[in-house]
Amino acid sequence: MKEFSVGKNDGGARLDRFVSKCVPLLPPSLAQKYIRLGRIKVGGRKAPRDTRLAPGDTVQMYVNDEFFSEAREDAAYLRVTDPGLDIVYEDANILLVNKPAGVLCHSGGGFDYATLIARIQAYLYARREWNPRGENSFAPALCNRIDRNTQGIVIAAKTAETLRIVNEKIKTREIDKYYLAVAEGEPRPKSGELRGYLFKDAVKNMVFVSDEPRRGAQLAVTEYKTLASKSGLSLLECRLHTGRTHQIRAQLAHIGCPILGDGKYGSEKSRRKYGESGQLLCSYKLTFSFRSDAGALGYLNGKTCALGSVGFADKYFPGISYSSVTVFPEFDTVI
């Protein structure tokens, strides 16, 4: 028998999900069976699988030893010697990191110590802000992700409460996300809204845009403004109203202004001409615009966090003060 204490970050977790993270090698069907049979108890008593655990509870597991693994000791974060994070903002609850282009947010499978989440966990582990031995089901996690070859701000939660709140605020569109992009051509009009229906081709790992609703397609809405144009290129600021896969890349290509360097939706000829190997797209600014209670994160309401410099913007449009450009002036406080 092994006993686990429920800590602050495990509070509110369902029993079955708590078990799945404490004993990852235990098959879900067997875990459900053990809960039904009372081989997994809460406070020494049989409990249903949807029991919400509270800090201070103890969970007893009468589970064979072979299902318990020390896999955490082989976790990717332990192999990171230098996290190399570009931290944009940090407090006791949240971490905003500028992810470089070329870095994965999460591993596609197995351990990958080059991923952003591994670096973040290594950073917090080294600072003793996170002790995996003292946590049963929680680990610092990313609240959003961006494409491998897209640079920009990613939100990481240091606590389970923060993770729940931010995930809910992203779902209800109470965190505004702004992107900078260098696009080919000049959008007409210079400012406006792109509205279309995106459907995914899983084989090609691409999305396609339809102007009319169609079965299986999801509505995508992007607001954009042209900040500058010259020599056949434009610097755009885009605000997401929905969060679809490859949304900005596909929609700009659909109107004839693909992002420079985009290997999926852009021009190979332009990529070679300018020597760009990845899309010039950056999630450079976000605003916390809570319309409902944000609990422990209420102090962030109305705050904006922005990158002071974006390399490709400075390269193609030197002198354009994009970081101080306020397209939506109701949120202009910089953290």
Instruction: Please say whether the dihedral angle defined by the alpha carbons of residues 119, 123, 126 and 131, taken in this order, is positive or negative.
Output: negative
| Contact call for residues 91 and 129 (beta carbons, < 8 A) | no
Looking at the DSSP bridge assignments, the partners of residue 184 are 233
Place of tokens 């390399």: 311
Select which of 147, 211, 262, 314 is catalytic: 147
Does residue 147 carry a catalytic annotation?
Answer: yes
Dihedral over alpha carbons 125, 129, 133, 136 (to 10 degrees): -120
Phi, psi values for residue 285, rounded to 5°: -155, 145
Separation of alpha carbons 160 and 133, rounded Å: 16
Nearest to 104 by CA among 67, 146, 57, 138: 146
Per the structure block, which two tokens stand in for 334?
Answer: 């910089």
End-to-end CA gap in the chain: 49
> What amino acid is encoded at 66 in this protein?
E
CA atoms of 247 and 194, how far apart (whole Å): 10
Active site residues: 147
